Structure 1
Amino acid sequence: MPAPWARRGFVKAWGGGAAALCLGATASAAIPHSTAHAADEFDVLRAKWRQLILGSGFSATTEPFRSKLGRLGKDATAWRATMEPADGSLWPAMVWLDPEPDLDAESYAFSDQMRKTCQRLCSMAEAYAQPGTGLTGDDAYAEEIVAGIRHVVDEVYNPGRSRYGNWWNWQIGGPQALLDAAVLLYDHLGPELISSLTAAVDHFVPESAVAEYTGTSTGANRVDLCRVIMLRGIVGRSAAKITLARDALAPVFPYVTRGDGFYADGSFIQHSAIPYIGGYGAVLFDGVGLLFALLKGSSYERTDPGSRLFLDTVDNAVAPFVYNGLLMDGVSGRGISRDGADDHTRAHALLASILLIGQGAGIEERTRWQAMVKGWIERDTYKPATTNTGLSLVRLARLRSLMDDRAVVASEEPVGHRLFHNMDRVVHRRHTWAACLSMASERIAHYEFGNGENGRGFHTGAGWLSWWGDDFGNDQYSDAFWPTVNPYRLPGITASTRKLSYGEGGNWGNPKPDAAWVGGTTDGEYAAVGQHLKGLSSTMAANKSWFFLDDAVVCLGAGITAADGVPVETTVDNRNLGASGNPVLTVDGRVQPSYQGWTDSFQDIRWAHVEGHAGYVFPRGATVNAVREARTGAWQDINTGGSPDPVTRRYLTLWHDHGTDPADATYVYVLLPGAGPGATSRRAGSNGWFRILSNSAGQQGIAVPRLGLTAVNFWARGEAGELSANAPCSVLVREHRDGTATVCVSDPARETTGLRVTWHRPVRSVLTRPSTLTSATTGRTLTLGFGDLTGQAGEPQKITVKPADWRSAPAVGNARPSGIEKSHA
Structure 2
Amino acid sequence: MPELSRRHVLALIPATGLLTVGLPLRALADEATDHARLLANTVAILAGTAEVNARPEAAVKLAAIHTTARTYLTQLDQAGPDELFAGVPLGENDANITQSYNRLLQIAVATRTDGVDSDLVGNVEVQRRVIDGLEWLHANYVGDQSAGYYGNWHNWEIGFPSHATRTFVLLAEQVAGYRPDLVETYVATMDAYLRNGVDGDVDLDSRFHTGANLADITTNRFLQGALLGDDARIGKAIADQSTVFATIDPYHLQHGNTDGYYADGSFIQHHSVAYTGSYGKVLLGRIAQTIKMLDGATSAGGTDLVAVVQAWVTNGFAPLIFEGWMMEVVKGRAVSRTTTGYVDVRAVAEAVVDLAGYAVGGDAAALKGYVKFLNASSPVSLEPNSFASPVSVVAFADILADATVPAADLNAAERNVAFNAMDKTVHRRPGYAFALARSSDRISKYEYMNGENLMPWFQGDGAHYLYLAGQDQTRAFGVDYYTAVSPYRLSGVTAPDGERRTIPDLYGQFWYENPDHPLGFTSSSESQNTYVYFPRGTNPLSGGAGLGAYGTAAMVLSDDVAHVDNQAGILPDDFVTYPNARATKSWFMLDDEIVVLAAGISGRAGRSAVTTLESRIAEPADGVAVTGALADGTAWTGDGVGPLAWVRWENPGEQTAVGYVLLDEQEVTVDVERVTRSRRVVRVSNPNTSVTKDVVTVSVAHPADGEHALAYALVPNAQADQLAGYADGPVQVLVNTTDVQAIKHADLGIVAANTFTDGRHQAERLTIDGAASVLVRQSGRRLEVAISDPTMTRDRVQVVIRGRDRGLESADDGVTVGQVTGGTSVVADTREAYGRTFTAVLRV
TM-score, normalised to structure 2, is: 0.82
Which one is further off, 629-638 or 445-454?
629-638
* CA pair 390-134 structure 1, distance change in 2 beyond 3 A: farther
**What is the aligned partner in structure 2 of residue 408 from structure 1?**
405
The CA RMSD measured in Å over matched residues stands at: 2.6
- Provide the rounded CA distance (Å) in 2 between the counterparts of 1:607 and 1:268: 36
List aligned pairs for 1:167-206, cutoff 5 A. Answer: 167-190=153-176, 191-205=180-194
1:380 deviates by 0.7
**What is the aligned partner in structure 1 of residue 555 from structure 2?**
531
- Provide the rounded CA distance (Å) in 1 between the counterparts of 2:218 and 2:650: 50
**What is the aligned partner in structure 1 of residue 713 from structure 2?**
670
- 1:723 paired to 2:778: no
Q: Is the 8 A contact 1:533 1:543 kept in 2?
A: yes
Q: Is the 8 A contact 1:703 1:709 kept in 2?
A: yes
Q: Is the 8 A contact 1:60 1:66 kept in 2?
A: no
Name the SS of the counterpart of 1:601 in structure 2: strand
- Provide the rounded CA distance (Å) in 2 between the counterparts of 1:646 and 1:351: 31
Query: What's the CA shift string for 1:126-176, capped at 9, x where partnerless?
Result: 233333666334332222111101111222333755533222111211111
Query: 2:75 aligned to 73, 76, 79, which one?
Result: 79
Counterpart amino acid of 2:810? Answer: T
**What is the aligned partner in structure 2 of residue 96 from structure 1?**
90
Which one is further off, 359-368 or 282-291?
359-368
1:116 deviates by 1.2
Q: Is the 8 A contact 2:58 2:394 kept in 1?
A: no
Which one is further off, 308-317 or 344-353?
308-317
1:121 deviates by 0.9
1:462 deviates by 1.0
- Provide the rounded CA distance (Å) in 1 between the counterparts of 2:660 and 2:719: 10
- Provide the rounded CA distance (Å) in 2 between the counterparts of 1:91 and 1:419: 48
Counterpart amino acid of 1:333? Answer: G
- Provide the rounded CA distance (Å) in 2 between the counterparts of 1:609 and 1:633: 23
**What is the aligned partner in structure 2 of residue 216 from structure 1?**
208
- Provide the rounded CA distance (Å) in 1 between the counterparts of 2:707 and 2:321: 37
Q: Is the 8 A contact 1:201 1:232 kept in 2?
A: no
- Provide the rounded CA distance (Å) in 1 between the counterparts of 2:392 and 2:451: 29
**What is the aligned partner in structure 2 of residue 242 from structure 1?**
234
Q: Is the 8 A contact 2:57 2:394 kept in 1?
A: no
For CA contacts below 8 A with separation 6 or more, give which structure has more relative contact order.
Answer: 2
Name the SS of the counterpart of 1:436 in structure 2: strand
**What is the aligned partner in structure 1 of residue 374 from structure 2?**
376
- 1:135 paired to 2:120: yes
Q: Is the 8 A contact 1:73 1:134 kept in 2?
A: no
* CA pair 630-68 structure 1, distance change in 2 beyond 3 A: farther
**What is the aligned partner in structure 2 of residue 253 from structure 1?**
245
1:733 deviates by 0.5
**What is the aligned partner in structure 2 of residue 29 from structure 1?**
none
Query: 1:555 aligned to 596, 601, 605, which one?
Result: 596
**What is the aligned partner in structure 1 of residue 324 from structure 2?**
325
- Provide the rounded CA distance (Å) in 1 between the counterparts of 2:439 and 2:661: 27
Counterpart amino acid of 1:124? Answer: I
**What is the aligned partner in structure 2 of residue 343 from structure 1?**
341
- Provide the rounded CA distance (Å) in 2 between the counterparts of 1:167 and 1:501: 27
1:623 deviates by 2.0
Q: Is the 8 A contact 1:580 1:650 kept in 2?
A: no
- Provide the rounded CA distance (Å) in 1 between the counterparts of 2:628 and 2:59: 49
Which one is further off, 237-246 or 602-611?
602-611
Query: 1:153 aligned to 109, 132, 138, which one?
Result: 138
**What is the aligned partner in structure 1 of residue 834 from structure 2?**
793
- Provide the rounded CA distance (Å) in 2 between the counterparts of 1:731 and 1:676: 30
Query: What's the CA shift string for 1:370-394, capped at 9, x where partnerless?
Result: 111211221111x221377597766
* CA pair 207-317 structure 1, distance change in 2 beyond 3 A: farther
- Provide the rounded CA distance (Å) in 2 between the counterparts of 1:756 and 1:61: 59
- Provide the rounded CA distance (Å) in 2 between the counterparts of 1:404 and 1:493: 46
Name the SS of the counterpart of 2:492 in structure 1: coil
Which one is further off, 536-545 or 773-782?
773-782
Name the SS of the counterpart of 1:574 in structure 2: strand
1:180 deviates by 1.3
Name the SS of the counterpart of 2:536 in structure 1: coil
- 1:49 paired to 2:42: yes
* CA pair 539-110 structure 1, distance change in 2 beyond 3 A: closer
Q: Is the 8 A contact 2:748 2:777 kept in 1?
A: yes
Q: Is the 8 A contact 1:60 1:69 kept in 2?
A: no
TM-score, normalised to structure 1, is: 0.84
**What is the aligned partner in structure 2 of residue 490 from structure 1?**
490
**What is the aligned partner in structure 1 of residue 627 from structure 2?**
586
Q: Is the 8 A contact 2:467 2:473 kept in 1?
A: yes
Counterpart amino acid of 1:125? Answer: A
Name the SS of the counterpart of 1:573 in structure 2: strand
- 1:511 paired to 2:553: no
- 1:610 paired to 2:602: no
Name the SS of the counterpart of 2:624 in structure 1: coil
List aligned pairs for 1:271-310, cutoff 5 A. Answer: 271-302=270-301, 308-310=307-309
- Provide the rounded CA distance (Å) in 2 between the counterparts of 1:351 and 1:633: 33
Query: What's the CA shift string for 1:792-821, capped at 9, x where partnerless?
Result: 222122122112xxxxxxxxxxxxxxxxxx
Q: Is the 8 A contact 2:626 2:647 kept in 1?
A: no
- Provide the rounded CA distance (Å) in 2 between the counterparts of 1:751 and 1:47: 50
Name the SS of the counterpart of 1:792 in structure 2: coil
* CA pair 488-63 structure 1, distance change in 2 beyond 3 A: farther
Counterpart amino acid of 1:269? Answer: I
Query: What's the CA shift string for 1:340-360, capped at 9, x where partnerless?
Result: x12111111111112212333
Which one is further off, 611-620 or 155-164?
155-164
**What is the aligned partner in structure 2 of residue 22 from structure 1?**
none
**What is the aligned partner in structure 1 of residue 614 from structure 2?**
573
**What is the aligned partner in structure 1 of residue 754 from structure 2?**
713
* CA pair 282-648 structure 1, distance change in 2 beyond 3 A: same
Name the SS of the counterpart of 2:784 in structure 1: strand
Name the SS of the counterpart of 1:210 in structure 2: coil
**What is the aligned partner in structure 2 of residue 227 from structure 1?**
219
Name the SS of the counterpart of 1:176 in structure 2: helix
Query: What's the CA shift string for 1:394-435, capped at 9, x where partnerless?
Result: 655554443344333111452211101111011111122111
Counterpart amino acid of 2:349? Answer: L
1:724 deviates by 1.6
Which one is further off, 614-623 or 131-140?
131-140
Counterpart amino acid of 2:183? Answer: I
* CA pair 141-306 structure 1, distance change in 2 beyond 3 A: closer
* CA pair 292-61 structure 1, distance change in 2 beyond 3 A: closer
1:473 deviates by 5.8
Q: Is the 8 A contact 1:386 1:396 kept in 2?
A: no
Counterpart amino acid of 1:91? Answer: F
Size of the aligned set, in residue pairs, is 739
- 1:165 paired to 2:151: yes
Q: Is the 8 A contact 1:355 1:366 kept in 2?
A: no
Which one is further off, 198-207 or 491-500?
198-207
**What is the aligned partner in structure 1 of residue 573 from structure 2?**
none
- Provide the rounded CA distance (Å) in 2 between the counterparts of 1:650 and 1:670: 23
- Provide the rounded CA distance (Å) in 2 between the counterparts of 1:363 and 1:549: 35
Name the SS of the counterpart of 1:580 in structure 2: helix
1:695 deviates by 1.0
1:752 deviates by 2.9
1:759 deviates by 1.3
Identity of matched residues, %: 23
Q: Is the 8 A contact 2:828 2:838 kept in 1?
A: no
- Provide the rounded CA distance (Å) in 2 between the counterparts of 1:792 and 1:184: 47
Q: Is the 8 A contact 1:479 1:578 kept in 2?
A: no
Q: Which structure 2 segments of 5+ residues have no match? A: 1-32, 251-257, 513-527, 561-577
Query: What's the CA shift string for 1:415-468, capped at 9, x where partnerless?
Result: 211101111011111122111110111111110111121111121101111121
* CA pair 579-404 structure 1, distance change in 2 beyond 3 A: farther
- Provide the rounded CA distance (Å) in 2 between the counterparts of 1:670 and 1:785: 31
Query: What's the CA shift string for 1:226-246, capped at 9, x where partnerless?
Result: 111011112222222221211
Which one is further off, 601-610 or 119-128?
601-610
